[in-house]
Amino acid sequence: MNAIEFTTDLSDKPVLTIPNEVAARLPKTGKARVIVLTGDDNNWQVSAYEQFLRDDSQEDAVYEALR
């Protein structure tokens, strides 16, 4: 399976516009699976990064001695 990612503008019509440069990379026949992500999909990355940077809990602090 190959993935091609692009962004497009949504409108009140039930149509997704595929940019010409992306359409040129698609096979001419066959099936495609379409996944639509909307909104600020960056929130999970920010939350994960903040969680990663938090200090370890007291139970996990034992691993600091292994550095």
Q: Locate tokens 């999909």: which residue?
A: 41
How many CB atoms neighbour CB 43 within 10 A? 9
Return d(Cα 6, Cα 43) in angstroms, integer. Answer: 19
List pLDDT tens digits, range 2-61.
Answer: 889 998 988 999 999 999 999 999 999 999 999 888 876 667 777 777 877 777 677 777
Q: pLDDT tier at 67 (50, 70, 90 boundaries)?
A: low
Q: What's residue 41's pLDDT?
A: 63
Q: Is the entire prediction scored with pTM above 0.95?
A: no
